[in-house]
Structures are given as structure tokens and as C-alpha cells.
Structure 1
Amino acid sequence: MGILDRPQSVAGPGWSRWLVPPAALAVHLSIGQIYGYSVFNKPLTRLLSGDVSAETGAPGDWTLLQVGLIFSVALFFLGASSALFGKWVEREGPRKTMVASALLFCGGFFVAALGVKLHSLSLVIFGNGVLGGIGLGLGYISPVSTLIKWFPDRPGLATGMAIMGFGGGALIGSPLGTALMGRFATDGTLGVGSTFLIMGAVYLLFMLFGAFLIRVPADGWTPPGWTPKPQPGGMISTHNVLVDQAFRTPQFWLLFAVLFLNVTAGIGVLGQASVMIQEMFSDRVLGAGNGVTAAAAAGFVGLLSIFNMAGRFFWSSTSDRIGRKPTYMIFFALGAVLYFLIPMFGNMGSLILFVAGFCVIMSMYGGGFATIPAYLRDMFGTANVGAIHGRLLLAWSAAAIVGPSLVNGFRDRQIASGVPAAQAYSTTMSIMAALLVVGFVANLLVRPVAEKFWAENRAPAPSHD
């Protein structure tokens, strides 16, 4: 196991740091498949009937609600494992962590394939949800932490390159999964079992490629010709704060609120985007034959995914120029205005403004994920940024539960009280706008970390040698 140890992955003189982004992308494009997991949902609910086109499954088939637990469990364990193993990631280095991520994430597909064959939902949840979710967490934070260390001059650009891959994983995973299920549809599991086996093997190769390509910089390394320059107001620190101390600072909890509120607003709408556009722009609203069809709504969801992915790179790169705090000011201020205007666009029957507004919102949703690691680096330094990032991702786990619950709950309540479906989202959009206003205030309160939390004023940072 020596080849996986951190000292074995230290880059030698002349090694190009631009080899790190491809290594990070190999992992993030693979684990980002979780965003495209919904392509398996309907086939998993028809395993016993053997007919995907059937309106209902056979007796004993799983329900859509039961199958939906797989995605929820995976996201929960992503956040939980990131927080729990953050220190281990920093201590052991990216190579060992990324290998562990590959074995867990891809091994989860193999276990899930067995669960599909045996028609055991608990085994599928354990495979893709628990094992896969832990692999997600390890694979998510390790490349990001390494990129920040290699690109201290452009941390936003660096993290954007990797996290853009996570956002775009569904663009590869969804069509790949669909094509493979079509190819192996007669395997007795509607192609799901065979697809899980092949995808697990393919992703394993890609993730191991990234793990053995990646390197960490030698102690004291900096980009040629670059020297740290303290920023006005001290918003980019030249000091390090260790993870346990960072957890006790008000800055950590303010940034926790910033990420939680930004993600809650975005993920709640993302999960209902297809239904929302069909209900707000139905034949009843626009006239017979003019409403948004299911196929058009699917295209809308795909467009949102593209803006989600592109926003991760665009906004994180922009934050290198204008600063992390101003970038989040834009997210919250512009987002609140757009959420307030969305119902108005629906009432106007302006489909173009509706789609454009949500595309901008989704770009800032993705940008929030990509910018937060650089924000943490600014506040707490690079020594424990991976572990700190891991703990902060618990905000994502919480938002994945709260966001969809808010949107779905208020929509159902409005419709139950007699409000037309096309108007049932007005209250929800107002609540999302209010959440972003709170996020604006939380971001406004972020200040440099007090000296008493600096590592040099406490115990020295642990050595990785």
C-alpha cells in the first residue's frame, strides 16, 4: 500500500500543476453520475412486471417513493462522510482517498446490481446509497483540496474546474445509463443489473486513472513568480486555521448558512423544474396546443443542467477577480429579485423570461458550490481546507431535505386549498426570495478570522511526512 501513501504522491521538480485538473475531472465526472440517477427510477419500479411502459408495476414492485430513497441516502452520506473523514483526507493525501472513493462508489454499483437481481431494495440502497454515498463524499472533497494547494493564485478557477465536472456528470451518466439499459433490456432486470455492472467497471477505470495521475505539491511550493499579497480588509488570509478551531469560529457558521440557503433555494426548484414549467405554462393557461409538453419540459431540465455546470466555472473564476464575498452578494441579491419576478413572468405568459430567469438562478446555484471552497481557503488558509470543506458540506445534506420539502409542501397545500396549479408556486417563490435575503445578511456579516484562532497562535499544524 506504500504507493498510495501521501509521501509517494509528492510532485517532483518540474511537474506541471495543469495535470491536476484532468485528474480531478476524472473523479468528479464519474461521481457526478448521481445527478443522473433518475434514469433508473422507473425501470427499478417495473422489475417484476418487466414492462417499463406499464402505468403501474406488478404486485411486489417497488414504488417511486421507495426508489427515491436511493438518491436521498446517497446525498446524505456524501455530506456525512465528507464531515467525518475530512481529517483523514488531509492526513492521507489525495491518492489514497481517491482510490478509496473509487472502490466504494464503483463497488456500490456491483452491490446494487446484486440487489436488483435478488429484488432486494435494501441491498440497492446499501450499494448505491450508503457505499456509493461515502465514495461520493471522499471523491468530492479530495480533488478540491488538492487543487486549492496547487493554485493559490487562482483558487476559484481551480475549484471551478473540478466541481464543474461534478455538475456535468449527469450529461454523461444519463445517456450512458439509458443506452446500456436499452442494449441489455432482456437480461431479466430490464437492463438495470447489467448497466450497473458495466458503469461500475468503467467508472472504476476512470477514477483510478485520476488517483494515480494526481500529485501534491512539495512543502513550501508556490507558483513561479507568485507571492501572497494580503488583500484590503484582510478577506484573504495568509494564516492557517485548523479544522477543530475553524468549527468554533462564527465565520464557519456564517458560511454554513450561506451555502445552506443558496442550495436550499436552488435544489428545491431543480427537483420540480419539469412539473413547474408544465403547470405554469399549460394548455389551460396558454391555450390549447400552446402549452409546454413533457418533452419540452425535459429539454428545459437539460438546459438548467448546462447552466448549473457552466455557472460552476464562470462564477468561481469571476470570484478570483472580484472576491468571494461580492460574488455571493450577487448570488443572493440577484437571486432574490429573480425568484420574486418568476411568478410575474408566469402570469404574463412570458416563457422566454421564465426560462432565462431560471437559467441565471441555476448558474448561481452551481456557482455557489464551486466558490465556497475558495471562500473557505480565504478565511482559514490551505492547511486543513479539505477537512473544513467536508464539515461544511453538511449544509448540502440539510438543504437536500429542506429545499424539496418546502417546494413540494407549499405547492400541495396551495392546490389543496383551491389555488390553480399555475399559481401554486407564488408563495414558494416568495419564500425562496426571503431565504436569499437572509443569506445576503449572513454573507454581509462575514469578517476575517480573529488571530486567536490562527494555527501559529496554537498548536502547530500536523506534519504529513
Structure 2
Amino acid sequence: MSVTAFAPPPFLSRERTIASAGFNRWLVPPAALAIHLCIGMAYGFSVFWLPLSRAVGVSAPVACPADMSAVATLFATSCDWQISALGWMYTLFFVLLGSSAAIWGGWLETAGPRKAGLVSAFCWCGGLVISAAGVYLHQIWMLWLGSGVIGGIGLGLGYISPVSTLIKWFPDRRGMATGMAIMGFGGGAMIGAPLANMLMQHFASPTSVGVWQTFLVMAAVYFVFMVGGALSYRVPREGWAPKGWTPPVAAANAMVTHRHVHLNVAWRTPQFWLLWAVLCLNVSAGIGVIGMASPMLQEVFGGRLIGLDLTFSQLDAGQKAQIAAIAAGFTGLLSLCNIGGRFLWASFSDTLGRKMTYAIFFVLGFGLYALVPTTAHMGSVVLFVGAFCIILSFYGGGFATIPAYLADIFGTHMVGAIHGRLLTAWATAGVLGPVLVNYLREYQIASGIPRDAAYDQTMYILAGLLALGLVCNLLVRPVAEHLYMKDEDLKKMSKAALAKEDAHADFEDFEEEAKDGGVAVLVRGSTPVASGSTPLPLVVAAWLVVGVPLAWGVWITLQKAVILFH
């Protein structure tokens, strides 16, 4: 049998995703959001921990025998899992996200966003199906493999799939474009977590906590959205530019290049590793806070959250339940600031510049982290919460700004692959940040420090990480001239990639018609492959598909956040 028999369908090739004349570029961000809002549920997976910790006992956890080995617990069906074991899925998510983005980022540039988006859909949703089977059979290793490993690969491919495409569609607004998509990853938990709670309540019974059924339903819903988003991706023709826009003239010392650096060269430059450190340090500080936001507020303020002059340890069970509800509102508010910062700061970076934007993150972030212990000892909930809201906006803004920063430094030709390599910084931060916060807290409490002061030293250390990040950001300079790709080499690469894609297409011998308003039309002979302007109702409908669920998630989160100020 011929090898070509196993070739993917022609419509999956990158060449078939090239937009026709009149295509509205504002259709691309909702396609990216459709994928990011689904995979963003990784942030909200903790909603499953408590139900899964009593999957056998249903009403109460059934502890495993004290003499049972760690290996035996992986296959035990008669006792419940510990939350610490389930929490490994969270670590696997972000380690595999960074690793898969780094490994397959180069493939994405040649395969195109449609293939990457579809693979992401099969991995993320398929991982949920395997996890559902793991819950049903009570095999925790299936959860780690399904959602943790396979789902983590889907996270990486889904996360980077739209980055390069959006930057090429919005050369005039790089930060805003990537901010719109990456905002969805931060907002995915706002939709997914309350949806998961509703589904678990619906499926719960005297013999089931309703998790495996919830996994299956969410896998089906997410698959529809992700496949729809992937099939909606379009890439601009080489040389396309927005109508009426001309690239700004590059200054001799400008931080924005109009040249391109190859992936194999980019990751060996000092600029890459400085930006790697910039992202890692910014994320380490933020992700450590996200993981401990709820217990931090409760332990720092204790009874003061409900008008009582009592420490956390002095509260009874009912009072602790009251402040836990308030802390949930705090966590929800931080989520809103996280996603808002992704869009707002990335958009501001188009005017301020990426280097200046990151300088703001680090300078103001340093001051806010250093002031947090003071606001706590003052007993000011408003100042404490306000400081962390701004800090989390910097955390989200850092994620959304870094792709545009990379495009400024290394050019747009292979920015998706370069961004994939850089996301190993996220995987590192996903371990470093929580370890710093969690272990320092335990060490302080074990040393006899009161719970309301156990986070003071941690905040100062996180402030130190931001100071180091500021130094790395200040050291970023334009790439040396000899590292840029030569124009003739760039043309050869483009032709080779197009020829490779055409080998899998069901048509050939394309030409490029005269450009109309900056949009190139692919033709076969004299017949366009596709033509006509995108109808405005279609653009509005695409935004409503992703906008309505996002608005619902924001509304639910705001309702919880209001409790914080009662």
C-alpha cells in the first residue's frame, strides 16, 4: 500500500487555510478563543479534587490501609485517593504544556494552526474521556495519563496554535491580538468550573459523585467548540498587510525588527534566554499566589473577615465555613484580574512597547509584593485585595505580552515555534512558584511563626524574583545583525514549505493575483479558490459563540466576588 494512502485530508494542509480576498481578520480571534476557553479549564481542575477524594465512599472518604504501598494505591479500587495525589495532574498539565509546545512548535509553523488545533482537540478531549474511564474504574494512573499527559500535550498545542497566525493578521496590534486569545486561557476556568459543579450536582447519586459523567459531557462540549475553532482558522497570504497600514520605519536602535531569525538560531541567543528568565520569574511570583490565594486570605485575616477579633485557629467550623466562602470570592476576583490583565496590558504594550510594559510589571510588582505584609498587619482587606488584583493583572499580562515581545525581537516568520520553546519557562515556573510558597509557609509555621505572619518572608522573596526579572528585562537588546535570516534564504524556505504542503493538496499550479487592499487571492488559472467579503452577521455570530459563555462566566464570578466586600 502506498504511503500516500495515509496522507491527511487535503483541507487540513496549511495551504488550504490561506484566506481569500475579502476575508475579515476579526474572525480569527474568536476561533482562537473557542480553543483557549476550553483548554483554560486546566486552571479550574481543582473543582474535582474534593469529589474525587470520596469517589469510593461518596458521602465520606474511605482511607487506604496504612501499610498499603504507594504503587498499590495506583491500582486500588477499595479506598479513596488523597488530594495530594490528584494534585499531580495540575503539575503534569503545565510541565507537559511547556514541553509539548517546545517539541512541536516548529511543526506548527509548517503544518499550520488548523492541524495543531485539531490535534489539541483530540488530545484534550480524549484525555478527559480516558480520565472518565479512570474514575469509573477507580484507577488514578489513568487520570494522570489521560488528562495529565495526553491532555497536557493538547494544552501545549492548543495554547500556541493561534499565536503566530494572530500576530501575522494583526501586525498593527500584535499585543492586542495575542491578548484576546490568551485571555481565553485565563477565562476558561470561569466557565468550566461552575459548569462542572452544575454537572456534578446533576449526576450525583447515592452511589456516584458524578465526576466521570461530567468528564464525558465536558469532553463532548469542548470537542465541538475546539474543532469549530480549529476549522475556522485562516492564515494570511505571504506579504499581506491590513488595508491602509504601512510598517513603521525601523530606527537604528529600535526594539522592533522587520527581519526574521530562524528558530534554530533564536533559542541560542542571549535575548531568548533573557526573555525566558523574564517570563519564568514573572510567572513564578504570580502562580505561587494563585495556588495559595484562598488559604492566604483566611489565615492572614482570620475572623476579621466576618467582624470578629479572632485568629484563624480560634474560629469554629461554622465561622471557618463563612470565611471560606469569602475566600472563594477573592479567588474569583483574582481570576477576573488575571484575564483582564491579559487583554488590557497586552493592548497597552502596542503603545508603551513590550520592554516598558514588562518594566512596569516588575517595578510596580516589586513594590506591591513588598507592601503586602504591611497591608496585612494594618488589617486592611481592601488594600490587601487591591494589591493582589493588580499583581494578578501583571501575571496575566505577562503571558499575553510575551508572544508580541518575541515577534518584536525575532520577527514573525517562526514566532510560534520560538514561543513554544519559551513556554518551557512556564513549566519551570509551575514547579518553582508553588514550591516556594507552599514549603516556605510550612517551614514558617513549623518554626512557631503565627499563621497570619507566615507569608511575610514569602512575599519578600517573591519581590526579589521580580527585581531579578527587571534586571533581565533591562538587558534585552536587539539581535545582532549577522543572526537575521538573509532575504534569499527566507524566500527559499517559503517556497520549500509551500511545495511540501502542495504535495498533499488536491489542486496545484497556483498563482498570486494582484493584491486587492492588501489581500492576496489564490487562483487556479483564472478562477479564485474563494472570493467575496465576509458577511458582517457571520463575524457577529462568531463573537457571540465565544462571548456569551465568557460573559456567563464573568457574571458567576462577580456574584461570588461581591461576598468579599460584605
Give the TM-score of the pair, scaled to structure 1.
0.97
Aligned with 1:455: secondary structure?
Answer: coil
For residue 352 of structure 2, what is the aligned residue in structure 1? 322
Is the Cα–Cα contact under 8 Å of residues 117 and 189 in structure 1 kept in the other structure?
no
Give the equivalent residue in structure 2 for 1:30.
38
1:243-274: CA deviations, max 9, x gaps?
A: 11001110000000000000000000110010
- 2:87 aligned counterpart, secondary structure: helix
Equivalences for 1:28-67 in 2 at 5 Å? 28-51=36-59, 54=60, 56-59=61-64, 60-67=79-86
- 1:190 aligned residue: 209
* Aligned residue number for residue 122 of structure 2: 103
Deviation (angstroms), 1:452: 1.4
Q: How many residues in Structure 1 have an aligned counterpart in Structure 2?
A: 462
Task: Spell out the pairing of 1:27-426 with structure 2 (5 A cutoff).
Answer: 27-51=35-59, 54=60, 56-59=61-64, 60-186=79-205, 188-232=207-251, 233-283=253-303, 287-288=309-310, 293-426=323-456
| Structure with greater Cα Rg | 2
CA distance in 1, matches of 2:479, 2:208: 55
Kindly tell me: are residues 116 and 380 of structure 1, through their superposed partners in 2, closer, same or farther at Cα, counting changes over 3 Å?
same
SS at match of 1:85: helix
* Corresponding position of 1:13: 21
Q: Which runs of 5+ in 1 are unaligned?
A: none
Aligned residue number for residue 429 of structure 1: 459
- Whether the 8 Å contact between 1:34 and 1:71 is mirrored in structure 2 is yes
Distance 1:421 1:284 in 2: 14
| 8 Å contact from structure 2 (residues 250, 258) kept in 1 | no
Q: Following the alignment from structure 1 to structure 2, what is the Cα–Cα distance between the partners of residues 74 and 415?
A: 29
Which of the numbers 493, 502, 505 marks the counterpart of 1:462? 493
List structure 1 segments (4+ residues) > 3 angstroms apart after TM superposition: 56-59, 288-292, 457-461
Amino acid at match of 1:277: L
Q: Contact (CA 8 Å) 1:46, 1:58: kept in 2 or not?
A: no
Cα distance in structure 2, aligned partners of 1:375 and 1:187: 53
Q: How much does 1:226 deviate? A: 1.2
| Identity level (%) | 55
Asked if the contact 2:36/2:159 (under 8 Å) is kept, the reply is yes
Give the Å deviation of 1:58.
Answer: 4.0
Give the CA deviation at 1:33.
0.7
SS at match of 2:493: coil
Cα drift, residue 462 of structure 1? 2.5
How far apart in 2 are the matches of 1:32 and 1:458? Answer: 40
Asked if structure 2 preserves the Cα contact closer than 8 Å seen for 1:230 and 1:238, the reply is: no
**Cα distance in 2, alignment partners of residues 388 and 458 from structure 1:** 21
- Distance in structure 1 (CA, Å) of the matches to 2:93 and 2:184: 18
Between the aligned partners of 1:112 and 1:2, the Cα distance in structure 2 is 32
Q: Can you list the C-alpha shifts for 1:192-238, whole angstroms capped at 9, x where unaligned?
A: 11111110010000001111111000111111111211454220000
1:48-80 C-alpha deviation (Å, 9 max, x unpaired): 1012xx3x4343211011000111111111000
Q: CA deviation at 1:445?
A: 0.5
1:447 pairs with one of 477, 480, 485: 477
TM-score, normalised relative to structure 2: 0.80
Q: Which amino acid aligns with 1:374?
A: A
1:321-375 deviations in Å (ceiling 9; x for gaps): 1100000000000000000000000010011000000000000000000000000
CA shift for structure 1 position 283: 2.2
Structure 1 position 456, deviation (Å): 1.1
> Structure 2 stretches of 5 or more lacking a match?
1-8, 65-78, 499-566
Contact 1:230 1:237 in 2 (8 A): no
CA RMSD of aligned residues (A): 1.5
The Cα of 1:376 is off from its aligned counterpart by 0.2
Once the two structures are superposed, residues 91-120 of structure 1 have per-residue CA deviations (whole angstroms, 9 ceiling, x without a partner) of 100011101110111011111111111111
Q: CA deviation at 1:45?
A: 1.1
Give, as a single letter, the amino acid of the residue that structure 1 aligns with 2:111. E
User: Contact 2:58/2:206 (CA < 8 Å) preserved in 1?
Assistant: no
CA distance in 2, matches of 1:315, 1:322: 10
